[in-house]
Amino acid sequence: MRVFIPKIIISLSCILFFIGNVDGQPAWADVNYANNDGNIRHDLDIYLPDSGTGPFPVVVYIHGGGWQDGNKSNVGGISPIIDEGYALVSINYRLTAEAIYPAQINDCKAAIRWMRANATTYNLDASRIGVIGTSAGGHLVALLGTSGDVTTHTVGDATMDIEGNVGGNLSYSSRVQAVSDWFGPTDFLKMNDFPGNIDHDAPTSPESKLVGGPIQDNPNKCALANPITYASKDDAPLLMIHGTADMSVPYNQSELLYQALQPLFDSAGTEITLHPVDGAGHGLGSTMSTETFNMMVEFFNRNIISSTSVKGFKSTSKDLIQLIKIYTSSYNSKLKIFYKVQFPGYVKLEIYNTKGKLVDIHVNAYKQAGDYRIFWNNYKHSAGTYFCKLTAGKYTESAKILLLE
């Protein structure tokens, strides 16, 4: 029989959240974000986690399709983000058959403003909004990341209102807190510099249709559609994932964006990553794997959830000591560990041995403020000293546990 003699178990101040499962159906479908204008291209769907009470941090999905196809129901491989505690908002935007650029970015910005204006109604955290975009959607989310403070902008003889006034809500910001760009185009004029299966310079190419004429004849309009044009030190953190064998949007498009933004971001201490998927072609089917999905989740965790750090927390011995109930089953021993979360955010609870080897992870999720407990099943571990480490944002604390035969 084993007896567990705890030294201290942790009470913690941090940032936290919840976990849920997707049942495939949005909590709200076909919600119009443009003042109920009746245009289905101004509709969005909202998916919420099954667990937790909110308000939930948000990731907005912007679909691809060459700005001429696709719709908000194409959430595909993105939907598991809900299981990580995020609300998922998937939006429509006007396609090129209906309107040319900048209508598309105007719509995306309108959707972000609408979410902030209506956050309480739909249980969303208006201060924590990230965006995910694939292909043409990748282009639009990159623009959201770099043009957060831009209204009207001029390049040469071309002037465009990048913010727009679709749906109103102009007192709300269209800035986003983090951007995940999957194989999106950047500089249309250089897309033909690499081999591919699309002639991007053709008057019928997706890019030419977007700007309203052959791209090489409209360099200033292309510049106004280029995220690099608006780059500044206060842009949102950026994660780019791109297949190196992409024949629709050449990999060099992400390289160009990275090369332009990296010096600015480094000087500001802002995260920027370009992750090549060697040999992969175009689309989530080629580029998304457990590795790249988890990379995206961790990126959002760092830049959305953990962006509000705990400040001024002072613990006392009374805060740190909790009584632990002892279970004496020799074949199924359990140790009850209590911890407290004072602010919503991301929490990790790990068990280490004296050699510093991680032996168990019991919490690796988002929690709301409150009191929690977990059970550590210890029958598979040998007697000795272990350490329980609890991390929340920048706050970390450890407690010693003695496991005796």
- Angle CA 273–277–281, to nearest 5: 125
Positive or negative torsion for Cα 46, 52, 55, 58: negative
Nearest Cα neighbor of 397 from 119, 90, 11, 51 is 11
Q: What is the pLDDT of residue 380?
A: 67
Q: Phi first, then psi: give them for residue 117, nearest 5 degrees.
A: -70, -30
Per DSSP, the chain holds a count of helices (H) and strands (E) of: 9, 17
d(CA 127, CA 110): 16
d(CA 332, CA 335): 10
Nearest Cα neighbor of 235 from 180, 178, 303, 155 is 178
CATH number of 3-15+310-404: 2.60.40.10
Q: What is the pLDDT of residue 352?
A: 80
Nearest Cα neighbor of 242 from 229, 232, 233, 255 is 255
Q: Which amino acid is at 231?
A: A
Q: Phi first, then psi: give them for residue 194, nearest 5 degrees.
A: -120, 155
CA dihedral 308, 313, 317, 321 (to 10 degrees): -20
Q: What is the pLDDT of residue 378?
A: 64
Considering the segment(s) 28-307 as one domain, its CATH architecture is 3-Layer(aba) Sandwich (3.40)
d(CA 75, CA 313): 40
DSSP letter assigned to residue 13: -
273: β partners: 239
Q: What is the pLDDT of residue 14?
A: 28
Please count the residues of the chain. 405
Interacting residues of 142 by C-beta distance below 8 A, sequence separation 6+: 133, 179, 181, 184, 186, 227, 238, 257
Q: Phi first, then psi: give them for residue 372, nearest 5 degrees.
A: -130, 160
Q: Which two tokens stand for residue 367?
A: 């929690």
Does this model's pTM top 0.75? Answer: no
Start-end ranges of CATH 2.60.40.10 in the chain?
3-15+310-404
Q: Which two tokens stand for residue 107?
A: 């719509």
Cis peptide before 102, with omega less than 30 degrees from 0?
yes
Start-end ranges of CATH 3.40.50.1820 in the chain?
28-307
Residues of the chain with pLDDT under 50: 1-23, 307-332
Q: Which two tokens stand for residue 253?
A: 């498009």
Pairing of strands 56-62, 28-32: unpaired
Burial environment of residue 331 by CB neighbours within 10 A (0 to 12, 13 to 18, 19 or more): exposed
Contact 383, 395 (CB under 8 A): no
3: β partners: 404
